[in-house]
């Protein structure tokens, strides 16, 4: 393979943005153009002469536009191998017009689905000819340059300007690679729409672009984020967001979305080290910080109300790596920007995906997201003493937090404020002891506090230890063969306990 000079181009695009400059440049280089219906109209109105595809196929566009380009005269001109003697004899025999450049995009299938269109309209946006032309041009990149998206027009124009229409093998390969990226993504989107009822057990995901990170979880690991974070947040200030920042941001958003009331949370290593709900954001921040001001240093703060000057002033008194809010006042941004590297994110109100997945063992684990949020009506009292209204309120709060904490998880709450949590331990009693020790270390009294557990207690030792620490109400899924032992202890010691029947493991 070697460099080629573009002499003839095939153009058929749905979106005409940016096309005029391209075809005028091709015309100035003496490149002949063949085009289809709407594209031909656009090109000729731009003052560039072009041949019609019908002149090659001898057929008009038929079946409501479903068939326009599916013809040997077109595909032969793209797929013919110039260095293959048999191919070139057939090109001469059948008078096939060769194309060196193919500019084709695809019908906006994903956009049509997103618009809520009816099924038939969506089906009509499944491109047949376009995707076939793109694949043909990419397959024969040895002899053809394929441009499969208007996002490549700038790169194409630079190449045309630089060498007057001469294209290198490396350039053709790079464009072909992007073409297969486009077609595979398109096919995945179509399959996912057809399989929206999950009738075929297959895992297909496609994200067109990736953003290379400074490194992965550790400096010796490479890291890339595939996706568009701009859909979730707008970065107003700060350094480049890292792999670990992204994990914490995701954990922070998942947690804050559990709450409708005014709430502030502080995240460290994907877990809450502080969270509180209050009547106003300033006191919510102060209460959240009081949970564990040591761990809060360098953490991720997230709120579900606008940050004003007063709240920003308090937040700026501690080093926070990331601050996330629905919006910020101008003065608040000025205050928070005083730390050069602090990441300030304006969070957009986008709901989390309905499913989550992770790679392992050479495959992928997929599951629905845990969207269950128990209310008092979902809590079954199993003890003689039922919770008070205040205890119910705290149990709802605690259960939301434990749901978003790493298992085994225990959360202690009092007055809609996290007192402490025990997370990631290999035994539930160890998680509880960790939480009690931490609460005491930061001066919290656990008298009248509630305890939430993400799973049942295998033994009564946890309720015994909790009661001895001052806890008066417990929320847990229930389901242990020894539940009766825990219930008996609670009844004997006037502790209220409710079962939800819902486990909230998070690993």
Provide the angle, in degrees to the nearest 10, between the axes of the packed helices 19-28 and 37-45. Answer: 70
Of 7, 24, 139, 331, which is the active-site residue? Answer: 139
Structure tokens at 14: 């749905």
Number of C-beta neighbours around residue 362 at 10 A: 5
Strand partners, 364: 359
Which DSSP string do the residues of 188-256 spell out, in sequence order?
A: HHHHHHHTTT--S-------S-EEE-S-SSSTTS--EEES-GGGTEEEEESSPPPHHHHHHHHHHHHHH
**How far is the CA of 485 from the CAs of 429, 479, 480, 491, 501, in angstroms?**
15, 12, 10, 10, 17
Compute the distance between CA of residue 25 and CA of residue 48 in angstroms, rounded to an integer. Answer: 10
- Strand 299-303 to strand 32-35: parallel, antiparallel, or no bridges (unpaired)? unpaired
Residue matched to tokens 């700026």: 316
Q: Exposed, middle or buried: residue 53 (CB in 10 Å: 0-12, 13-18, 19+)?
A: buried
Residues 473, 453: contact at Cβ < 8 Å? no
Whether a cis peptide bond, with omega within 30° of 0, leads into 408 is yes
What residues have CB less than 8 Å from 158, skipping those under 6 apart? none
Active site includes 139? yes
The residue among 385, 380, 376, 357 whose CA lies nearest residue 493 is: 385
- DSSP, collapsed to helix, strand or coil, labels residue 72 as helix
Active site includes 269? yes
Taking only Cα atoms into account, the Rg of the chain, rounded to an integer number of angstroms, comes to 31
Q: What angle do CA 42, 44, 45 make, to 5 degrees?
A: 65
Compute the distance between CA of residue 462 and CA of residue 422 in angstroms, rounded to an integer. Answer: 12
Of 211, 269, 331, 337, which is the active-site residue? Answer: 269
Residue matched to tokens 């940016």: 18
Residues 31, 160: contact at Cβ < 8 Å? no
Provide the angle, in degrees to the nearest 10, between the axes of the packed helices 72-79 and 85-93. Answer: 150
Q: Which residues are catalytic?
A: 139, 269
């Amino acid at each position: 393979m070697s460099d080629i000079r573009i002499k003839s181009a095939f153009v058929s695009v749905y979106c005409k943005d940016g096309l005029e400059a391209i075809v005028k440049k091709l015309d100035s280089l003496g490149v002949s153009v063949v085009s289809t219906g709407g594209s031909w109209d656009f090109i000729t109105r731009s003052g560039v002469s072009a041949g019609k595809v019908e002149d090659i196929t001898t057929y008009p566009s038929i079946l409501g536009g479903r068939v326009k380009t599916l013809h040997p005269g077109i595909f032969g001109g793209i797929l013919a191998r110039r260095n293959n003697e048999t191919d070139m004899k057939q090109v001469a025999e059948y008078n096939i017009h060769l194309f060196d450049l193919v500019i084709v995009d695809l019908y906006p299938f994903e956009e049509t689905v997103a618009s809520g269109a009816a099924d038939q309209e969506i089906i009509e946006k499944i491109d047949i000819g376009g995707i076939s032309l793109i694949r043909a041009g990419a397959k024969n990149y040895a002899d053809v340059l394929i441009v499969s998206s208007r996002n490549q027009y700038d790169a194409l124009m630079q190449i045309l300007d630089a060498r007057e229409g001469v294209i290198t093998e490396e350039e053709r390969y790079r464009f072909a690679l992007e073409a297969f990226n486009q077609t595979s993504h398109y096919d995945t989107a179509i399959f996912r729409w057809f399989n929206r009822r999950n009738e075929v057990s297959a895992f297909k995901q496609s994200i067109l672009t990736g953003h290379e990170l400074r490194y992965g979880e550790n400096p010796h690991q490479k890291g890339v984020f595939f996706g568009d974070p701009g859909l979730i947040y707008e970065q107003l200030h700060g350094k480049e967001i890292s792999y670990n920042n992204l994990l914490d941001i995701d954990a922070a958003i998942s947690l804050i979305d559990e709450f409708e009331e005014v709430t502030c949370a502080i995240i460290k290593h994907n877990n809450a080290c502080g969270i509180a709900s209050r009547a106003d954001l300033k006191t919510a921040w102060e209460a959240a910080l009081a949970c564990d001001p040591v761990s809060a240093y360098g953490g991720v703060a997230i709120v579900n109300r606008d940050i004003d000057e007063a709240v920003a002033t308090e937040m700026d008194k501690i080093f926070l790596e990331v601050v996330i809010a629905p919006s910020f006042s101008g003065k608040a941004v000025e205050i928070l920007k005083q730390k050069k590297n602090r990441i300030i994110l304006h969070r957009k109100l986008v709901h989390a995906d309905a499913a989550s997945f992770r790679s392992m063992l050479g495959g992928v684990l997929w599951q629905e997201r845990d969207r269950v949020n128990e209310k008092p009506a979902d809590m079954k009292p199993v003890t003689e003493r039922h919770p008070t209204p205040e205890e119910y309120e705290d149990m709802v709060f605690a259960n939301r937090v434990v749901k978003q904490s790493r298992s085994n998880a225990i959360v202690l709450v009092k007055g809609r404020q996290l007192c402490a949590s025990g997370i990631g331990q290999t035994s539930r009693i160890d998680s509880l002891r960790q939480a009690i020790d931490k609460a005491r270390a930061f001066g919290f009294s656990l008298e009248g506090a509630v305890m939430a557990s993400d799973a049942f207690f295998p033994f009564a030792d946890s309720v015994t230890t909790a009661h001895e620490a001052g806890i008066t109400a417990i929320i847990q899924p229930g389901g242990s063969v020894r539940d009766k032992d825990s219930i008996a202890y609670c009844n004997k010691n006037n502790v209220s306990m409710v079962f939800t029947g819902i486990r909230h493991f998070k690993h």
